[in-house]
Chains A and B, each alone.
Chain A
């Protein structure tokens, strides 16, 4: 409204085109929203709607069959007295803290190897990317379970070196390393992004550094790392969020039970069991919302701290 005087004044000075332009802009917006409509409808009906209803359900006792009963914050307060819940938090945090950095380190290392110009690079790139394409599938989880079982290839392979761990699948101490290996093995997606980022780093920087006598380590920390930091930040954020949501492989490897001895009771798996095995949808919804909030806070912390180590080109620093 405050703008209308200036607008009208301008229209008097520069004659006609201004109002026509704004009318066209309105029409553009309408067309834009029309084209967005299928996505918007999907977003509202399939994402926003369910999220709001699950927010409501998280304050109720809802068993799927009977109308939800309002119980206020009870679900949220009982969560923290639930030992299985606390266990699932522990398992998931462990997985995120160890799995994500290792996966990113593997992705970056392989990306740097693949960045040099050699013959057959295309093949290697595809070969290293392939596991992440099939990694989330049911079949890989089944293969993984067989590989790490009693007398599986891993058990037998380690026995050659005199390491007798037995099957990893049934051993509560070994299931977490097994899951971390599974996620590290799927480094393909962040690797491709790292590779794209590495290609953007001007070669002159390295040449100049070489002239000044910088070795590879120095070049990595003083050129590669800062130049790549926006990409590292992006990958770290995505992989962390992704790691919190691990479900399919845990469900399959533990037969949907989170065993042995609760060592694979990931957050989402416990959420699913609470909802669909125990019919406690309200409780499950509360868990889902807590996860949303926690992941949101972690994202926020990442963004806040990023200023000190992420450098965008064109930054004054």
Chain B
């Protein structure tokens, strides 16, 4: 249990040990401490994800340890929301794990504040990567993260559920009105037993895509907001008619299912999210097959889609085992056998070596094929978002949830979000 005293204590002890560790850190050589087969070094690795990913990661770690007897990897995982609170606590104490799975949303927060190792200073092979993808792990000329894989936004649907309702499978060439009509049809035909989807206007990245469909960038180069209140109001208005109807899952249900998703719990027929969630959804829902189509767009030539690093591998700036950390990262992003273990559950492997060494079948092939099918619409991957973006993304979700509960109207929600965003940008300026 955490009470106020514990909390304050943690902060203080953290600060003290950060100073102590900083003092120890100086003077170590570039490779850091190295081990041998008889006397291996142990590095800590942490990731977020569900049981499915944990199982796969454990297999990958076992493989790494058998190939590198001088290194032991101590693995640890949590869900996404709790993940970042833990990292903040550890960073305050100077005790970040040696190697971490990372998200683009938090790269600036930690990278710009010197918590992450510049991976260009250690030995990681990036020859097999698309040159357009690597900059998303770089800030001001330093490489803080190596993408493991790419993902893109998509609409998932469960063909079996649609067939049982007698609804034709979507083609993915649809406007927002058509997608809304589709969601309503599912809700109506199932008599509310199955919702069409969740409120997609609560998803930041879908908003970002919609902005790009309208040729607007979410953030300006100097880290300000690139869109107006009117844009956001228009966006939240897209599903105004659907809220509170069987077209979208009620917020009461969604809240109670958390941390599981509504789609993974078989409460909805579709979901708009990243294409690498396929493996997780299959495991959670027990569905035989799930399919992917592109997101709606009112401009058929501009889908606003892009490939994003679905996750990055980073190392702590304070790791004592730089060499071991680098070898583990290199293994996780490049090794073909790792590709075989993860398939598309982390996204489509970013390294060509890993991608070519992986056989994609069944639903994994669907994900790879989906990313190929949208190739002609893809735009550049976005830069690492602004400092504090993770907070903005979370408040976007929270405020749209308030909107669905009817606690705020669209004007109120827009004001609330802008107030928080402007406050945050000012805070971190």
Identify the A interface with B (CB < 8 A): 46-47, 49-51, 53-54, 57, 61, 63-66, 83, 136-137, 149-150, 166-167, 169-172, 245, 247-248, 251, 255-257, 259-262, 268, 271-272, 275-281, 285, 288, 291-292
Contacts and interface: CB of A to CB of B under 8 A. Distances in A.
B59 interface: no
Contacts of A169: 255-256
Contacts of A247: 1-3
Contacts of B92: 64, 281
B115 interface: yes
B113 A66 contact: yes
B81 interface: yes
B394 interface: yes
B252 interface: yes
Interface stretch (B6-14, B236-244, B277-285): B6-14
B15 A259 contact: no
A256 B88 CA distance: 15
B115 A65 contact: yes
Interface string B408-429: 0000000010000000100110
A64 B88 contact: yes
A278 B388 contact: yes
Contact of A272 (B7, B91, B390, B405): B7
A256 B256 contact: no
A288 B9 CA distance: 12
A212 B89 CA distance: 65
B60 to A, nearest CB: 28
A105 B396 CA distance: 42
Contacts of B15: 53
Given A245-B4, A247-B2, A150 B88 contact: no
A166 B251 CA distance: 13
A167 B7 contact: no
B69 interface: no
Given A149-B256, A170-B256, A268-B4, A276 B85 contact: yes
A283 to B, nearest CB: 9
30 contacts: A47-B8, A49-B12, A53-B15, A54-B8, A61-B427, A64-B91, A65-B91, A65-B114, A83-B416, A136-B1, A137-B1, A150-B252, A170-B250, A171-B252, A255-B81, A255-B258, A256-B85, A259-B255, A260-B251, A260-B252, A271-B4, A271-B7, A277-B85, A277-B88, A277-B390, A277-B391, A278-B388, A288-B4, A288-B7, A291-B4
Given A53-B15, A262-B407, A280 B427 contact: yes
A279 B388 contact: yes
Contact of B401 (A61, A256, A260, A271): A260
B413 to A, nearest CB: 12
B5 interface: yes
A47 B11 contact: no
A243 B407 CA distance: 26
B4 A170 contact: no
B3 A245 contact: yes
Q: Is the interface of B mostly helix, strand, loop or mixed?
A: helix
A207 B7 CA distance: 52
A256 B397 CA distance: 14
Interface residues of B, number: 47
A50 B12 contact: yes
B113 A63 contact: yes
Given A65-B91, A247-B2, A277-B394, A261 B427 contact: no
B8 A277 contact: no
Contact of B391 (A46, A53, A278): A278
B402 A272 contact: no
B275 interface: no
A47 B9 contact: yes
Nearest to B3: A245
Contact of B9 (A46, A136, A261): A46
A261 B407 contact: yes
A62 to B, nearest CB: 9
A65 B113 contact: yes
B405 A260 contact: yes
Given A46-B9, A53-B11, A170-B256, 4 more contacts: A167-B256, A169-B255, A268-B2, A268-B4
Nearest to B10: A50
Contacts of B401: 259-261
B411 to A, nearest CB: 15
Contacts of A292: 4
B382 to A, nearest CB: 22
A71 to B, nearest CB: 10
Interface in B1-31: 1-5, 7-9, 11-13, 15
B166 interface: no
A288 B8 contact: yes
A302 B40 CA distance: 61
Q: Which 6 A-B pairs have the closest CB atoms?
A: A50-B12, A170-B252, A65-B113, A170-B255, A261-B405, A170-B256
A281 B427 CA distance: 12
A275 to B, nearest CB: 8
A38 to B, nearest CB: 16
A171 to B, nearest CB: 6
Nearest to A246: B3
A54 B81 CA distance: 26
A277 B84 contact: yes
B270 to A, nearest CB: 21
| From A51, A54, A57, A65, residue with most partner B Cβ within 10 Å | A65
Contacts of A291: 4
B398 interface: yes
